[in-house]
Structure formats: structure tokens, C-alpha cells
Structure 1
Amino acid sequence: MRRVPLPLVLVCGALLLVASCGWSRADDGDGRAPGAPVGVTAAAGSATSVHVMWNAAPAGSGVRTYEVYRGHTKVVDVPGSQHMVDVTRLRPSTAYSFTVRARDTGGRLGPPSRVVRARTPAAVAADRSAPARPSGTTGRPVGSRAAQLSWGASRDDRGVVSYDVYQGGVKIHSVGGNQTATVVTGLRPGSRYVFTVRARDAADNLSQAGAAVRLTTPGSDDGRDTAPTAFTAAAHRSGGAYYLDLAWDPPRSDGVITEYRIQLDGAAATSLVWGGAPPRGRAHHSFYLGTAAGEEHRVRLRARLPDGTWGGWSAERTVTTGG
């Protein structure tokens, strides 16, 4: 089953593009460590932070976490569902170098990526004024799996250092303050998305979000690649009542799935949200049906994917209480 990638953005030409520029693989399922991350970029986000990002690992690579290094010092661990991080508490007017390494579920640590460099701008004393919100934000689909965004330059009394791009309420990338366009890829055909852009200055003051861009990618998605699989349903009786027992394998996705929507007899029945980390591997859930025997019910479920959209429905199962 193909992976469901999160939107990523990489430098490629005049625009910032997410490109499948490859992945240096050392793990072909034979127990070797994962390869070095590729597509690594670094850009100053403020006088004290640098935004580092990289390409998603290919399906089946088993990456659990990424380790981000400043020089030879590890500064942060990033979950395998993420491919970007803001390295903070840096010094203004300072050059830094960064590398990224992948660690798989077996604990094996892969080699470092190529070195990328960024320089933080000078600090601005007593700057408490946030930039103006970006103006004229527009967007359009680019095929069925990408969208191009553009916006007007934001104004700031000391200058804009970077722009943060959000999908829904989640920051997905930053671009330099001289950039006013980007292309987001890794989208799904026939899906709705909402993007906003915020400006940031050297003092880390963040503007309000510009106008939201709502768009729908063309095409259709039958959901088969994003639906839970091996879905089973059975009823059991306890304490004079019947309960529905569900089990399934989560869809393969580039990220952690924490929420499911369950449909019973054609109507929304309940939502399942894991309070902490979801269980690894096969998932299970039970809920109350009622006290009557001999009732037939139809049930199916779908997952909220890491990109914020809903995946396809699982196969529908039929169960009978007391049957």
C-alpha cells in the first residue's frame, strides 16, 4: 500500500518545491540501518532560530525518529512522522551547519545527511512589533497532488526574515523573507485543503495569518490506498448488554494516525481519538451497542490522515447481536 505523505517543501529552482529527489537507502528490508536523509535544507527563521527540513523516507524504510545535529552536537530528536524542525536558542549573526540522521524501529542509526549551512541575522533590540499580515494570498492546484501558493510581501519596521506556511492549523514549512511563492506537494487527488501564511521578523515576532486559501485538488481518490485494512467486527455480550468489537490494520502513512471515525448503520456512531501514542500494529476498539438480541448492524471506519484529510472507508462488516 502506498504511503500517504505529508506536504513537504524543498528548494528547487525559483520556487520552493517538494520534489521526490530520492533517498539514500541503506535499508532494503535486510536489517541494515536506514540511509542518509536527502533534500536537507536550512534557512534562518529569526535571529535565534534556523528552520531545517528534509525529504520523507520511502515506504518500508521503518524510520522511527530523525536526529538533527548542529555541527557534531545532537540538538533534537524528531518523530518519524515529521520532516522539519525549528532549531532554536541560537546566537544572532552566527553561521551554523546542520546534518540529519535517521533511526529505525530497531534502534539502528543511519549515516548523516550532507551538511547544510545557514546564518542567523543580527538581533534587533527591543522589537515588539509584529510584521503586517501577508496580503493577497492566492493558490491553485498544480495537477492532482500539488498546489502553488503566492502572497504579497509583508511590511515590518525592521524587515521580514521568513514566512511560515500552514496547512490547516499546522505549520508545514518556512521560506526566506525574500520568498513570496512556494509549491506544496504530497497532496491527494479530489481533496480539500486550507493554507495560510504568516510573516516572522528577526525578533521572532509573528504576524497574523494572511487570508486563507481554500482549494480542492482535481481528480478522484477511491480511498483504497488510505483505508484501514483487514477490518473485522464481532459482537459480544457482557453484563446484559452487547458490545461491538472492532480490529483493523491502520493505513500506511507518512506520520502517526491518532483519530478514526466509526460509522454504524450508515450514520456517524463515534470518533476514536488516541489520548497518547496510538498502539503499534493492529488496532482494537469496542463500544456499546444495546441490550436487544438479534439486531443486525453494519459498521465501517476511516482514519484522519497526517495531512488533516480523511482517508477512505474500510470494508463494511455486518454483525448480529446474540448471533
Structure 2
Amino acid sequence: MRRTAPPRPLTAVLALGLALGALTACDTGDTRPPHPPGGLTAQAGSATSVHVMWESAAPADGVTGYQVFQAGRLVRELPADKTMVDVTGLAPQTAYDFTVRARDAAGNRSALSAPARATTPAARAEDHRAPTAPPATTGRAEGPRAVRLEWAAATDDTGVSAYDVLQGGIRIHTTGPGERATTLTGLQPGTAYSFTVRARDGADNSSPDGPAVAVTTPPDPAQGPGTAPGAFTATASPGTVDLAWTPPDTGRPTSEYQLYVNDRPVTVIQFGSGAVPAGRASYRLTTTEPAGTLWTLKLRARLPDGNWGAFGEERRITLPG
């Protein structure tokens, strides 16, 4: 498998970005604070933790980070791409108030958000039994950037305390124990997503994932044709994985694709000038991973403007022996 060159260290990139942002802000005399974060919610995940979430800032605000407060005390600082956090080390059966504020590159800080309150449940001593998985999940698109999910209740000997929604194996949302549905926003138009739901109890035991549900958001007419590769397939054989897809309509032949395995970029697939696929494209990976390894694969194309397009459908495979 050919891999791309390693990226620059994230800490160095962030430090450089913050420094350049600060210089630019100083040069322009930026004294205008960002807007306070909106949509703040807090949900107890266990007897000693609370999951806090909020909406991303508008790009025009130039936000570089967030500060999370509990009862006026700073408990976490996060970069701009993080809009959720688990606050741990809390006491059972206790109400907690949280607020968040945004910070830009010039050091301007927003006003605090509206507060959100959560009450941790009682601790359950010696509880090592996880809840059952939610037995069913359904989903539907609600426009180009939103999906509505619904699931059936899980069971637990001490009671479910929260439900976690995962996309591509990563938790993106948490709801309360009495909720059986949620609307996820901020998604990409014309993109296929796979979601699962798992349950947690007051001792922070997590269930297995419930059944996955696939939902594809419709294209946004304002953005023109979809940019995601279509009809993506992945077929595993001993030592190889064969990929195939339909190139997106980008206005010109698409010669470069980025492949992700288990939500990490692993290679860039490039076709030479005389081999750019006009119809169905294909590519073969070689692998020495052991039999039984689970892979989730997704693909996106390099657009004519140099940016990466939307991801196509995710595919899950188990490598054979």
C-alpha cells in the first residue's frame, strides 16, 4: 500500500497558525470579540462525568479555541475544531452548570454562552454489566446537511444513563436516557453516512453498537453536481482488497483520490495522464494485516480547484485468511 508523505506535526502547524493569526490580528487592530457559542447542552454520561456540546462558530468569527467552565471555573480548553468534551471527576447525584466561550487569534474572548445544567445519577457499586445494544436504528435525511436518527431502547440491570451516537466509529453526539431520537446537523451534502448507537449506564459501562444505519444526504442545488465518488465497492481476498467506484462529475477527468481506512488517510491513488478512468475506476491494495481484521473504507476525489470533495459511501470488510 503506497502511503503519502507524513504530515507536519499537528502541534507545529497549530502553533504556526496561531502565531500568524495573532500577527494579522495585531496588524489590523482586531478588538472585536467572537459571538458567544450557541446551542450548549450538557448530558450526564455516568455518575462521575458529563458530556458538554455546543455549535461550531461561524467562519467569520475567526475562532481558534473554546474555554469550558463549570460554575465559573475553567475546566477545559479546546481547539476550534472540537465542539464537545467529557468533563470527568464529578460527584454522583450532583447538579452542575456549564458555560462555554470562544477565543480568536487576537486573544479576544466572547461573552459566556447561555448555561446548561446536568445532574449526575447515583453511583452503582460493583456494576460491571454493560447495557444491551439498542436493538434497532432508523435514519432519514432532513435536507442536505441534517439527518434524523431514531432507535429502540436498550436495557440495563441498573438503568441506562445515556445514549451515544457514533459515525465511523467516533462518538459525535450524546443524548439522555429517555430520548429515542436526535437530529444531527452540520453534515455534508450529497454524502453517505453510517451511524450506530450504543447505550451507557451510571458506572460508564458501554453496550455494543446497535445495528448500523446508512443515510445519504441529498445534494445541495446551490453547490452544483455532487463531488463524491459513486457506487464505491470493496472486495477482500487473501492478501488483497479490490476497490471500484464511479468518478464524480467534476467537469474534467479526475485523476487523484484519497483513501481512508478506519477514519485515517492511508494512501493517495493517482492515475497517470494516459490512464485516467473515463467510466468505472478500480484499484487493488495489497495487505499483510491478519485475518479477521475489520476495515472501514471511504474515498474522496481531488477537485479541479485542488480541494478534496465529499466522501462517498463507506464500506466495511473483514480481511480473510
Shorter-normalised TM range: 0.5 to 0.7
2:136 is the alignment partner of 1:146: no
**C-alpha deviations, 1:77-128, integer Å up to 9, x for none?**
1221121111111110111111101111222222211222111000000000
Say whether the 8 Å CA contact 1:222–1:312 is kept in structure 2. no
Amino acid of the structure 2 residue aligned with 1:207: S
Say whether the 8 Å CA contact 1:190–1:216 is kept in structure 2. yes
Distance apart, 1:183 and its partner CA: 1.1
Distance apart, 1:31 and its partner CA: 3.1
Distance apart, 1:163 and its partner CA: 0.3
The separation in 1 between residues aligned to 2:301 and 2:100, in whole angstroms, is 30
Q: Which residue of 1 aligns with 2:305?
A: 315
Query: Please, which runs of 5 or more residues in structure 1 have no aligned partner?
Result: 1-28, 228-264, 273-294, 299-307, 317-323
The separation in 1 between residues aligned to 2:54 and 2:300, in whole angstroms, is 25
Q: Which residue of 2 aligns with 1:178?
A: 178
Say whether the 8 Å CA contact 1:188–1:221 is kept in structure 2. no
The separation in 1 between residues aligned to 2:187 and 2:257, in whole angstroms, is 28
Q: Which residue of 1 aligns with 2:200?
A: 200
Say whether the 8 Å CA contact 2:130–2:207 is kept in structure 1. yes
Distance 1:225 1:66, change over 3 A: farther
> What is the RMSD of the two structures over their aligned residues, measured on CA atoms?
3.5
The separation in 2 between residues aligned to 1:189 and 1:270, in whole angstroms, is 19
Amino acid of the structure 1 residue aligned with 2:182: T
| Structure of higher RCO (CA pairs closer than 8 Å, 6+ residues apart) | 1
2:214 is the alignment partner of 1:214: yes
**C-alpha deviations, 1:192-244, integer Å up to 9, x for none?**
111111100000001111111111112357868999xxxxxxxxxxxxxxxxx
**C-alpha deviations, 1:138-177, integer Å up to 9, x for none?**
1111122211111110010000000001111221110001
Amino acid of the structure 2 residue aligned with 1:101: R
Query: Please, which runs of 5 or more residues in structure 2 have no aligned partner?
Result: 1-28, 228-252, 261-272, 277-297, 307-321
Say whether the 8 Å CA contact 1:167–1:194 is kept in structure 2. yes
Q: Which TM-score applies when normalising by structure 2?
A: 0.63
The separation in 1 between residues aligned to 2:116 and 2:56, in whole angstroms, is 17
Amino acid of the structure 2 residue aligned with 1:313: L
Say whether the 8 Å CA contact 1:42–1:118 is kept in structure 2. yes
The runs of at least 4 consecutive aligned structure 1 residues that moved more than 6 Å come to: 221-227, 269-272, 295-298
Summarize the alignment of residues 1-323 of structure 1 with structure 2, pairs less than 5 Å apart. 30-219=30-219, 266-268=254-256, 310=300, 313-315=303-305
Please identify which structure carries the higher helix content.
2
Q: Which TM-score applies when normalising by structure 1?
A: 0.62
Say whether the 8 Å CA contact 2:189–2:219 is kept in structure 1. yes
Say whether the 8 Å CA contact 2:257–2:301 is kept in structure 1. no
The separation in 1 between residues aligned to 2:225 and 2:97, in whole angstroms, is 38
Q: Secondary structure at the match of 1:60?
A: helix
Distance apart, 1:309 and its partner CA: 7.9
Say whether the 8 Å CA contact 1:42–1:51 is kept in structure 2. yes
Q: Which residue of 1 aligns with 2:230?
A: none
